[in-house]
Amino acid sequence: MVDIKNPKYTYTKNSFFYFSHAVPFDLRNHYSIDRIVISLKTKSPYKAHIASNNISSKLEDYWMGLRLKNIQVPASKKLINNGIEGVISDAPTITEAQDRYLSTKGVDRNLLFFSHTKRAVGYLIKYLGDKNLDQYTGLDSANFRDKLKEKGLSASSIRRNIGCIKAVINFNINEFGLDCGNPFSNVYIHKEENIKRKTIKTESIKILQKKCINKPDDLRLLVALISDTGLRLSEAAGLEKEDIFIDEHISYLNIRKNKIRSLKTTTSTRIIPLVGASLNAAKLIISTSKSEYCFPRYVANGICKTNSASAAANKWIKTIIGKEAVIHGLRHSFRDRLRDVEAPTEVIDQLGGWSMRSIGQTYGEGYKLELLYKFISHIEL
């Protein structure tokens, strides 16, 4: 039995009835709000009941039309060219969408932002064609994922490329007010097995450091700089000479974002005292490098070539201390070495640029250089 006194989808405010209905989750991309609220301009429960039913009925009919519009055409696989040819669309092509996205979102972004986006869009055009945005389907997104997998890309790389495509399409849907969904929003990508990188033992680090000083070229100096600082490879490879401070009292690195590479997190901006092999490497870099960058071999066309540095460093390290060792293992070792000298967790996180684990850790300015040096000096080999 219908409750006339409390009509469905209504509530009262100052004795007047209001219609209230949540926008269905699958249609929220069509709205700028999550709930539709309309004043019925009546205090009569009966009139509110009639008006609410009328509005609700119209909305349901409209929503059904939206769903039918977005639904994939039945038996579309049997159509020539998957039913795309001859379809008139006002939506931009993925190439046009890419250009719009980069010209607007690319302001003050580094070159990697552009190269990653263009590579992902290039893959999409290669495997699915340069279609209008509203012509890509859920089946297309699944096929695209499978093509990237066949190409040999890892799950993380597939996720990164599809993330770029998703960002480009979402931006243009909002920018142009397009009446279409994003078929790349919910692509299933299997999770890779979490492979734990092994730390490099202290004796192996000593061997590496000795080899680095015996042949102090770009590659060896890069490894030496990381060995006693725990730097991420990109932080070290993209370091500028002006961010090295050599002092009789305490020498240190100033890790900050620059024009050739960004930083992983906001807490990655930090200072790291220099000791041991890292201090020796820093002094050699200052005296030998003729570039504004510490490692010009790994800088080209305004981009830090982290992948090249990683491949070269890993190849060399494996020949010295074993095939399972990688450059990132030095960062794991750095944390363990600080634990061994009983450095507080907050000091370790600050030195390594690791994300803070609590709100309290973000308060204040952090530990001063002198105290950081006190702990890091104990790990010198």
What amino acid occupies position 358?
S
Token pair recorded at residue 300: 């080209």
On the question of a common fold for 90-176 and 202-379, the answer reads no
Tokens found for residue 367: 């530990």
Give residue-wise pLDDT tens across range 217-275.
Answer: 899 999 999 999 999 999 999 999 999 999 888 999 999 988 888 888 888 899 999 99
- Size (the chain), residues: 381
Secondary-structure class of domain 90-176 per CATH: mainly alpha
Q: What does the alpha-carbon distance between residue 167 and residue 336 come to, in Å, rounded to a whole number?
A: 38
Where along the chain do its domains lie?
A: 10-70, 90-176, 202-379
pLDDT at 101 over 50: yes
Q: Which fold has domain 202-379?
A: hpI Integrase; Chain A (1.10.443)
Contact present, 254 and 265 (Cβ < 8 Å):
no
Residues above pLDDT 90, as percent of the chain: 54
- pLDDT of 177 reads 86
Cβ contact 299:110 at 8 Å: no
Q: Can you give the pLDDT at residue 373?
A: 94
Give me the helices (H) in 86-232, please: 94-105, 111-128, 138-150, 155-176, 202-214, 218-227
Choose the weakest-confidence range: 128-142, 261-275, 313-327, 359-373.
Answer: 359-373
Confidence (pTM):
0.59
